[in-house]
Structure 1
Amino acid sequence: MNPTGAVSSSQPLQVASFAEWRAAARELLREGIPPEAVTWGTPEGGDLFSGAPAAPPPHAAIPLPPAHGPRPPTALLPRSMLEMLQKAACFRAPDRWAFLYRVLWRWQLGEHDVQSAADPDGSRLHGMVKAVRREEHDMHAYIRFRERPLEAGAPRFVAWFEPAHDVLPQVAQHFVARMGKVSWMIATPEASVLWDGATLHNTGPLMSSAADLDDAGEALWLTYYRSIFNPARVNAQLMQSHIPSRFWKNLPEGAIVPSMVSQAELGARKIGQVQSLGRKSGATIPITAEKAQPDREQPSSLDECRRCELWQYATQAVPGEGAKHAPIMVVGEQPGDQEDLAGQPFVGPAGKLLDRVFAQAEVDRKAIYLTNAVKHFKWEPKGKRRIHKTPAQREVEACHYWLEKELAAVKPKVIVAMGSTALKSVLGKGSVTLKDTLGKPIRHDGYWVVTIYHPSYVLRVPDEAAKQEAFSVMVKGLRLAHELLERPDTAEPG
């Protein structure tokens, strides 16, 4: 069957999509034409993404050769068989349409073993389906979108990929669901798809290679990739087996991986092993942990801190914030969920309550330095939420290094410790409790120390009267801290 509706051995029946093949195959089955009597072809420039299928010509306009052998009944295919044929139609093979028609013919004759992997044709059919599914998975995994400069009508993100099979239509639907209303384009050597945020447009090839793409943010990605690359654990053979070589050339990191692997082979692996020795677990030894650890250079910034394990589970470290030389430093326990995401202290519900306390006590938050005893968020999962978990003593002690740095830089006169964890961090180990010190200033290492409740405690108190009492204690404590600014350093607590 050619475009005018003729069937002959010299003029192939041309189809460019599964829908066209299905319509033609249904007509051929109706006329009882066996596979060996049909020659299949693909129109020039045709592929599985070439547009809407053409309607089959009417039966009266098709001259047919005489039928050979029994005519198969025109029974309906089960959904599983139809899905296998549709998936296999994406497999690039010169004889794919002829093969699929042979499978269909055999099925309609009652040879249902053709769907089994034990059958020669069934084995090939299963192999084609598996290869197409693998290509879809690889395209999902190895497409890299580059952000483009904002231009009217142009997609915001563009990607280049060279698929081995015709999987662009179904992969395009995957990214439509995944990327929402953000505009993007995926270009391949055979076709392109463009999503404008509402409609998916199918076109011919619009690019020739990944070299046509440029992304200013790619340098940042490569810097991050280098930072997470561990030369001590590199396995080049494993990397090549997990990511086929044909994908590397179009991945941004593909340009730097060979040199990093070479450096690992030339000695960087040993350096990486030395740097990681401090995190290795080992047998318990009868000395303190501080003496057991080898001497190491202390981190120069919070982002580099590995003094305890909390950094592994937090989004980021949350430093203190406030006036550079504030007379009052307020110390809380640790960042909460919102602080962990924002990278700023006291921006969540506890921070809003603290703002109310500041207002009631007539203290300007901008004149205060706010920080926490522990700089990383410690949490445990509860459903889809991250729930606060009290830091352990070893974690408080590990983070005291950063509190000492803040005290040395800010040089406050009064420290307000909010809660027991903050009090332990400020005073160190001891038997002093929050209950014993509420409303009673303490002299410690040249500072006045005032204790108040943590805002989260006030939020958790179920009884309204107790809640108001706790809020009042916080207000009085901040007013006391402000009054202590006028008290001589040599004065006795009282």
Structure 2
Amino acid sequence: MIPAQRIRADTRYVIQLPEPDDFGFWRERARALVQCDVPPDRIAWVEPGGSGDLFGRGDLRVPSPPADAPQIRVSRRFLQLAKNAALHSDPERFALLYRLLWRHQANGRVMEDKADNDVRRLEDLDRSVRRDSHKMHAFVRFRVVEDEGVEGSGDEHYVAWFEPDHHIVRANAGFFVRRFANMKWSILTPRLSLHWDGETMREGPAAERGDAPSGDPAEDLWRKYYASIFNPARLKVGAMLKEMPRKYWKNMPEAALIPELVAGAQQRESTMVDAGTLEFEERPETLAAIDKAIHACRKCPIGELDNHAVMGEGPQDAALMIVGEQPGDQEDQSGRPFIGPAGQLLDVHLERAGIDRGKAYVTNTVKHFKYVQRGKRRLHQSPNAKEIDTCRWWVESERAIVQPKLLLAMGASAARGMLGKTVSITKARGTPQMLEDGSELWITAHPSYLLRLDGEAREKQERLFDADLAAVAQRLAEMADS
């Protein structure tokens, strides 16, 4: 580094980044340059393979900040967006990040100006990177090959090919390690390759499409499954192409069936209507539309009772989505989720864990109160598996709109509503499960279960409940900082 006292006012700096996705390197250099009062127009940020000729003989050394350099001011929102934006393929992204960091020092609220061109561009980069990561999570398809590490061993190794638009491969390695921890796999891309042997992650050089296998025997089964679950009544070709662009089709065995399935969709829909098996219309696109639809829903016996549908509530962009079983008597009367005894107990434990309920989206797996009448009282009854599975349409619609990073399912019914299968709370709690959209599902007991206990049994279960919520709070904080 250049000693602070030797910095000249007209010095131009060329910063060579070791990797195109090295946000940590950029942050360290950017902090030093800001503390040395070096304005954005005197810095060129150059990726590997790029040219540093912009400033001719620009100085490659970063100055050392003076001892009395001011502390760097930066907002949490800027850091959240910047970490993602740094993975974009735009060659000007690091210059944009430095310009906004520089402006932060004079205006700590610059990120609040939604009309600002730099802020809008940063948000666009972040959005594109998140979309690319979602595509990687959704469209990577592994093909099985024999593990060449041990000749004749018959060990299976899974290989996938993916073509990212941005520098997202390293950043998403953890997702695949968590989801396929017990597999040996490789993900090959034109940028770099990832290799997981069940214990250690290795990086490899860029690959070509021909380096990945083109198919395996399991793909016939996958194609049959995809064809069997294809619902022509929910077909929206434009939306499908937006979410699953054609560039990914060649990596997906089921994609070969799409033209034929689309062509026959109208006839298949007519057949379903004639047979009386068409269950739902198109998925609602707003929370208000879901609210209206669930009040008219009579797809299961619960909806035929003398009750009222209860919609979820909370911010539409909440990072946390809390899912319970069904409304209770008080919720049914008020039209709001979790305001009865179980909800009041939940509020106590959320506050204890440092989770702000007002920032979470709170809802239930089943939207109507299931009960049996006993005189003037309505006694709660648990929904059965078919009723939960029928109502999944609505909670999945809420989730698709809110797009939470983390879901907390409370109780076995809520867990089934999220996973489509029954799980053991004892076995599932405390360990996150990755969902297909990249969000995390955490499972715990329902607070109504705690209300049915007393003495040492309740104390024990409340400790477990508190531990689950504390883990969720910690994970939310990690997500906010990442």
The alignment's TM-score, normalised by the length of structure 1, stands at: 0.47
User: Which structure: larger Rg?
Assistant: 1
